[in-house]
């Protein structure tokens, strides 16, 4: 039966270990899923970056040096909107809320230039909506991303 | 981590032969650039034309590589693809580095 809905829906669920290598593999699968959903290069790049930053934060901060944590990721796209849900069993966000994501200052000497601290700034700039909960020892982060421009038809 | 020095001096041009500079390779990338940089050249250009994806860890690695250079040395960037360019603009790191549209423009010393 042909898909007659104006905004077809695609979904992907996966589970990954908290390592940069597993993040790479997960991002690769999300990139393919978004391509199948008709997202263009720019929109895929935006979603991939937001997801990379969120997952890197879980590996580096929520799980920290305990490198064997599990992360569950679900991606649901409806037309040009993607809903990402990331769950992990790592440490709670400081203050039980998302970082403000103020950009690090650059008006400093060369040797003082920041080498990190950009992650939440990028996530907040590129996402449409964020929601964070910590219940029963688990973090749940919801991110909505909207593809800008026209979705490609191929 | 594969880097290739395509021009040895004035400026030295280092091509990054990797599609991604992310958390999985950030440390190796920083170390490899530091090793590849010639102490004798005033200007070093990182050719990012093959890099399709960078995250904030990769961005931090480029900053760290720049900090590791000698006084009087400068690190420029060239041939940023759209997604990489976006990361530099959103973090305003495009105000810290001289970014050349192409490697040829970097060779001529022109800014973007």
**pLDDT range class, residue A67, cuts 50, 70, 90:** low
pLDDT tens readout for residues A70-121: 999 999 999 999 999 999 999 999 999 999 999 999 999 999 999 999 999 9
Tell me what ipTM this predicted complex has: 0.93
Residue A55 parent element (H or E) = helix A41-57
pLDDT computed for residue B109 by the predictor = 76
Task: Give the chain A residue nearest B64 (alpha carbons).
Answer: A115
pLDDT confidence of A39, banded at 50, 70, 90? very high
Which residues in chain A are contacts of B93 at CB distance < 8 A? Answer: 106
Q: Find, among A70, A18, A27, the residue nearest to A51 by Cα.
A: A27
The pLDDT of residue A68 is: 78
CATH class of A10-104+114-146: alpha beta
Calculate the average pLDDT of chain B.
Answer: 95
pLDDT above 90 covers a percentage of chain A that reads 85
CB contact under 8 A, A115 and B91: no
**CB neighbour list of residue B22: distance below 8 Å, 6 or more residues apart:** A20, A23, A24, A52, B53, B54, B55, B57, B58
A49/B22 CB distance under 8 A: no
For A76, the token pair is 């649901």
Mean pLDDT score of chain A, rounded to an integer?
A: 90
Residue A59, token pair as written in the block:
């590996």
Write the pLDDT tens digit of every residue in B38-54. 999 999 999 999 999 99
Q: If pLDDT is split at 50, 70 and 90, which confidence band does A149 have?
A: low
Size of interface A-B (CB pairs under 8 A): 74
The C-alpha atoms of residue B24 and residue A24 are separated, in whole angstroms, by 8
Reported confidence tier of residue A9, pLDDT bands at 50, 70, 90: confident
The span from the CA of A36 to the CA of A39, in Å, is 7
Q: Which residues contact A114 (CB under 8 A, 6 or more apart)?
A: A104, A105, A106, B60, B63
Residue recorded with tokens 């590996």? A59
With a cut of 60, say whether residue A2 has pLDDT above it.
Answer: no
Q: How many whole angstroms separate alpha carbon B106 and alpha carbon B112? A: 9
Residue B92 to residue A117: CA distance in whole angstroms: 13
**Long-range CB contacts (< 8 A, 24+ apart) of B89-97?**
B90/A121, B90/A122, B90/A125, B90/A126, B91/A103, B91/A118, B91/A121, B91/A122, B91/B56, B91/B59, B92/A103, B92/A106, B93/A106, B93/B59, B93/B63, B95/A106, B96/A106, B96/A113, B96/B63, B97/B62, B97/B66
Contacts of B56 in chain A (CB under 8 A): 53, 56, 116-119, 122
| A 104-133 residues inside an 8 A Cβ radius of B | 106, 110-111, 113-119, 121-122, 125-126
Asked if residue A118 lies in contact with residue B96, where contact means CB atoms within 8 angstroms, the answer is no
pLDDT over 90 (residue A65): no
pLDDT at A63: 93
Distance from CA of A3 to the nearest CA of B (A): 32
- Chain A residue numbers with beta carbons less than 8 Å from the beta carbon of B59 are 118
Ordered by start, the domain boundaries in chain B are 3-108
Subunit contact A111:B67, Cβ cutoff 8 A: yes
Residue B92 has pLDDT above 60, yes or no: yes
A130 pLDDT more than 60: yes
pLDDT of residue B110: 54
| pLDDT at position B9 | 85
Band (pLDDT 50/70/90 cuts) for residue A150 is very low
Asked if B13 contacts B106 with a C-beta cutoff of 8 angstroms, the reply is yes
Q: Span B3-108: which CATH code?
A: 3.30.750.24
């Amino acid at each position: 039966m042909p898909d007659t809905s104006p905004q077809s829906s695609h979904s992907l669920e996966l589970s990954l270990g908290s390592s940069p290598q597993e993040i790479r593999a997960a991002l690769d699968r999300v990139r393919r899923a978004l391509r199948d959903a008709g997202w263009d290069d720019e929109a895929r790049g935006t979603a991939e970056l937001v997801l990379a930053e969120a997952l890197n934060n879980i590996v580096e901060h929520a799980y920290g040096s305990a490198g064997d944590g599990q992360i569950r990721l679900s991606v649901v796209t409806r037309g040009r909107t993607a809903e990402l849900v990331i769950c992990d069993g790592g440490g709670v966000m400081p203050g039980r809320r998302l970082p403000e994501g103020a950009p690090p200052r650059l008006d400093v000497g060369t040797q003082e230039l920041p080498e990190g601290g950009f992650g939440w700034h990028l996530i907040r700039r590129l996402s449409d909506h964020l929601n964070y909960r910590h219940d029963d020892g688990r973090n749940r982060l919801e991110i909505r991303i909207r593809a800008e421009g026209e979705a490609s038809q191929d | 981590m594969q880097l290739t020095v395509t021009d040895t001096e004035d400026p030295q041009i280092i091509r990054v032969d990797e599609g991604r500079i992310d958390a999985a390779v950030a440390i190796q990338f920083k170390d490899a650039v530091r090793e590849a940089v010639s102490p004798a050249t005033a200007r070093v250009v990182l050719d990012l034309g093959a890099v399709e994806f960078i995250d904030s860890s990769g961005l931090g690695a480029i900053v760290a590589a720049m900090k590791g250079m000698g006084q009087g040395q400068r690190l420029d960037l060239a041939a940023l693809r759209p997604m990489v360019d976006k990361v530099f603009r959103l973090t305003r790191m495009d105000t810290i580095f001289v970014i050349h549209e192409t490697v040829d423009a970097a060779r001529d010393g022109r800014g973007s």
